[in-house]
């Protein structure tokens, strides 16, 4: 897939819409295995991202990623703030290094960054469980909405090993991971941004 400034802005707008629409659902997912704030964290963050884009009108994809990174890092907090912030920072790093990098390489940079920051592996029941299969499918040119949905669904039977959900041990089994779900929204929005 190709990404440019316009698509990127459209992506963030679509992601924001999905987050605001799913705010309560994300919080609900964060209730049995978390602390009931993921919807709020993401909603607050994306609201700020959109405001920043409107205020600063970034003039390149690089500038956009930079703006998203700094907004998430300064405004979100929680675990999702630094992790999503790292993701965009990791993407930015690849893009900066080589402006011709394909988008799947850029996203892989995002995933690496999340894992470097959060130390989660695939199967630990975190957003990594969506990012990893998504990046891989993209590399294989096989990314579809179904791939994303299946990745989210697959977090359900897992026992959490990282993040807040790990504190409840076996009781985390049987619930979808909220960060996996919000990451799914991110990638669904990405696919939609390209479709338009």
Partner 1 sequence: MKKIINTPDTLMMEMINGIVLAHPELELINKYKVIKKKKMNDEKVTLISGGGSGHEPAHAGFIGKGMLDAAVCGEVFASPSQIQVYQAIKETQSNKGTLLIIKNYSGDIMNFKNAAHLAKEDGAVVDYVKVEDDIAVEDSLYTVGRRGVAGTVLVHKIAGAAAEEGRSLSDVKTVAQKAADSVRSIGIALTSGTVPAKGTPTFTLEDDEMEYGVGIHGEPGIRREKMMSASQLAERMVKDLLKDLKVSDDNEEELVVLINGFGATPLQELYLFNNEVARELSERNVKICRTFVGNYMTSVDMAGVSVSLMKLDDELKSLINKESDTPAFKVSG
Nearest-10 crossing angle of helices 38-56, 61-75: 140
Examine residue 16 and tell whether it contacts partner 1 (CB under 8 A). Answer: no
Q: Contacting partner 1 (CB under 8 A), which of 62, 161, 173, 188?
A: 161
Contact between residue 58 and residue 68 where contact means Cβ atoms under 8 Å apart:
no
- Which residues, numbered 98-157, are part of the site for ligand ADP (CB under 6 A)? 114, 118-120, 126-128
Cα(22)–Cα(68) distance, integer angstroms: 20
Contact between residue 18 and residue 42 where contact means Cβ atoms under 8 Å apart:
no
**Which residue in this structure is represented by tokens 């907004």?**
71
Examine residue 8 and tell whether it contacts Mg ion (CB under 5 A). Answer: no
Cα(43)–Cα(79) distance, integer angstroms: 14
Q: Contacting partner 1 (CB under 8 A), which of 13, 17, 35, 62?
A: 35
Q: Contacting ligand ADP (CB under 6 A), which of 18, 37, 104, 112?
A: 37
One character per residue 165-184, x = contact with ligand ADP (rule: CB under 6 A): ------------xxxx----
Cα(51)–Cα(166) distance, integer angstroms: 34
Cα(117)–Cα(86) distance, integer angstroms: 7
One character per residue 59-98, x = contact with Mg ion (rule: CB under 5 A): -------------------x--------------------
One character per residue 70-109, x = contact with partner 1 (rule: CB under 8 A): ---xxxxxxxxxxx-x------------------------
């Amino acid at each position: 897939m190709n990404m440019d400034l316009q698509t990127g802005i459209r992506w963030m707008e679509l992601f924001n819409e999905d987050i605001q629409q799913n705010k309560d659902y994300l919080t609900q997912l964060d209730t049995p295995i978390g602390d009931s704030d993921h919807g709020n964290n993401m909603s607050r963050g994306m609201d700020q991202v959109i405001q920043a884009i409107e205020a600063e009108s970034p003039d390149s994809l690089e500038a956009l990623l930079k703006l998203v990174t700094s907004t998430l890092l300064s405004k979100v907090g929680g675990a999702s703030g630094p992790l999503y912030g790292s993701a965009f920072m990791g993407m930015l790093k690849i893009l900066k290094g080589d402006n011709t990098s394909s988008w799947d390489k850029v996203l892989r940079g995002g995933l690496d960054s999340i894992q470097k920051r959060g130390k989660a592996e695939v199967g630990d029941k975190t957003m990594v469980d969506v990012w990893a299969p998504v990046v891989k499918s993209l590399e294989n040119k096989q990314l579809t909405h179904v791939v994303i949905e299946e990745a989210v669904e697959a977090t359900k039977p897992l026992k959490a090993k990282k993040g807040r959900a790990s504190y409840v041990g076996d009781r985390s089994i049987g619930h979808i991971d909220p960060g996996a779900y919000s990451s799914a929204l991110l990638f669904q929005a990405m696919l939609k941004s390209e479709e338009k």
